[in-house]
Amino acid sequence: MVIDPEAETPADAELDATGAFSREFIEEIAQLIEAGDREGLASRIESLYAADVADLLEQLNADQRVPFVVLCGDAFDFTVLTEVDDTIREKLLVDLPAEFVARGVRELESDDAVYILEDLDEAGQAEILEKIPEFERLQLARSLEYPEESAGRRMSTDFIAVPPFWTVGQTIDYMRETDDLPEDFYELYVVDPAFHLLGTVSLNHILRAKRPVQIAEIMDDDPHVVSADEDQEEVGRMFDRYDLVSVGVIDADERLVGIITFDDIVDVITEEVEEDIRRLSGVGDEEMTDTVWYTARSRFIWLLINLGTAVLASLVIGMFDATIQQMVALAILMPIVASMGGNAGTQTMTVAVRALATRELGGYNAARIVSREMLVGLLNGAAFAVIIGLVTWGWFGSGQLGAVIAAAMILNMVVAGLSGILIPLALQKAGADPAVASGVFLTTVTDVVGFFAFLGLAAALLL
């Protein structure tokens, strides 16, 4: 039985209307696992992509996943583990025999092998690595020594390096006659005897050149390179900016130690975007497959902080309790001002945090963007001030009350726009992650300013 990641998804996989596996199919797989039916399981999943098998693993109950992998045996494609949630991958690596994992890891590209092993603790990594032949073990161990989320962790050590004095004919013959080459490659890397990168040659240049031409004559002698310690997000930004297919990774001595290709960077960019979205919502590195206890615990701290900001907003309201008692309409209307400010600020904050992450917002254009957001807040504030002012006048029959809430709306919308851009900028300047903490501070500012402006103006002008 072979799980072929390149095969077509079978029509009999019984997908539902959303494209996910149907309940009947999942139950059938569960029955095959319980019965230990290796052949039956093989017939149902042998044509699935690795990503489809990963989805299947996530749909199974926790106690069915290890038996599923064991039933697949040596034919289980460990690429599947690069597609599942981190929680599931770590649990499988701990529960499966180290010898079994070592055999599977050896079949992977080096970057996929590192990706699978990196979340294990040192003892878990050592247990698996000691089952791998020395040369491969040293390569993986070296990659695992680089910082997390760095180019060194994402690079593949499988690449083709040639000297500059080779001819095109020699290079083509070498690639045809050598068995131990990467499965997929797009460029050749030209190096000196010390493995310093001299240039790159794309395959299309190789195929178009005459056999006697030397590699040095057709190579790009100004290739893009990244340090092995470079943050993976910076590498992704380089790929996006320069439309790269692959890039060489160099160590502290500027020796070529690996490469990163565009397919790896797509995964990195996806991870970074998902991470920013989760952080903006205060859910950290939470996965859909995490336990109830872990999920509740990870969300608790941010909910606790939000409780503190809500109490602060309540204290502001308490300062005007006598005012509210004299005019009940204030209690009805004051949430409108705060919620509109919060929504407007969130719009600005979302754009600002993403712009900071992509380096589109910095010191060179910060003043211009801040001014723009202030004007946007002013324009929207004025528009909604007219709307809510007229609604309030018609609802409560008080033009003065309509004017008060209109003025408070303008003030809070302007403050919301400024806060949405200034808070992320200030947090980044202080060395904090804007995606993590901006939302909490923004909510506090818009609530406090909204309540204070509305109730303060009401107390001063109406009573």
DSSP letters along 273-333, please?
A: HHHHHHHHTT-TT--TTS-HHHHHHHHHHHHHHHHHHHHHHHHHHHTTHHHHHH-THHHHH
Is 199 strand, coil or helix? strand
Q: Where in the chain do CATH 3.10.580.10 domains reside?
A: 161-280
What average pLDDT does this structure show over 363-383? 88
Class of domain 161-280: alpha beta
Using CA atoms, how far apart are residues 428 and 423, in angstroms rounded to an integer? 9
Q: How many Cα atoms sit within 13 Å of 108 on the Cβ side? A: 26
Task: Return the sign of the alpha-carbon dihedral for residues 207, 209, 215, 217.
Answer: negative
Q: What is the dihedral angle through the alpha carbons of 243, 246, 249, 254, rounded to the nearest 10 degrees? A: -80
pLDDT at 278 (0 to 100): 66
Using CA atoms, how far apart are residues 362 and 359, in angstroms rounded to an integer? 7
Q: Where in the chain do CATH 1.10.357.20 domains reside?
A: 292-461
pLDDT at 290 (0 to 100): 67
Using CA atoms, how far apart are residues 380 and 339, in angstroms rounded to an integer? 14
Q: Where in the chain do CATH 1.25.60.10 domains reside?
A: 11-149
Question: Tokens in use for 366?
Answer: 């910060």
**pLDDT at residue 281 is higher than 50:** yes
- For the chain, the average pLDDT equals 86
What average pLDDT does this structure show over 354-375? 81
pTM here? 0.68
CATH topology of domain 11-149: MgtE N-terminal fold (1.25.60)
- Least confident residue range of 151-155, 309-313, 334-338, 436-440: 436-440
Is 261 strand, coil or helix? strand
What average pLDDT does this structure show over 317-344? 85
pLDDT at 408 (0 to 100): 93
**Burial level of 366, CB count in 10 A (0-12/13-18/19+)?**
middle
Using CA atoms, how far apart are residues 21 and 19, in angstroms rounded to an integer? 7
**pLDDT at residue 135 is higher than 80:** yes
| Backbone torsions φ then ψ of 162, nearest 5 degrees | -135, 155
**pLDDT at residue 276 is higher than 60:** yes
Task: Return the sign of the alpha-carbon dihedral for residues 94, 95, 100, 104.
Answer: negative
pLDDT at 309 (0 to 100): 76
**Burial level of 40, CB count in 10 A (0-12/13-18/19+)?**
middle
Q: What is the largest CA-CA distance in the chain?
A: 95
Q: Read off the pLDDT band of 1 (50, 70, 90).
A: very low
What average pLDDT does this structure show over 221-238? 92
- Least confident residue range of 137-151, 280-294, 380-394: 280-294
Phi-psi category of residue 413: left, alpha or beta, with phi > 0 → left and psi -120 to 50 → alpha:
alpha
pLDDT at 146 (0 to 100): 93
**pLDDT at residue 74 is higher than 90:** no
What average pLDDT does this structure show over 259-266? 89
pLDDT at 277 (0 to 100): 66
Residue pLDDT, tens place only, 159-218:
999 999 999 999 999 999 998 888 888 899 999 999 999 999 999 999 999 999 999 999
Is 257 strand, coil or helix? strand
Residue 377 contacts residue 346 (beta carbons within 8 Å):
no
Using CA atoms, how far apart are residues 316 and 363, in angstroms rounded to an integer? 35
Q: Which amino acid is at 241?
A: R
Does the structural domain 292-461 have CATH classification 2.60.40.10?
A: no
Is 138 strand, coil or helix? helix
> In 3D, which of 91, 82, 40, 102 has the Cα closest to residue 61?
91
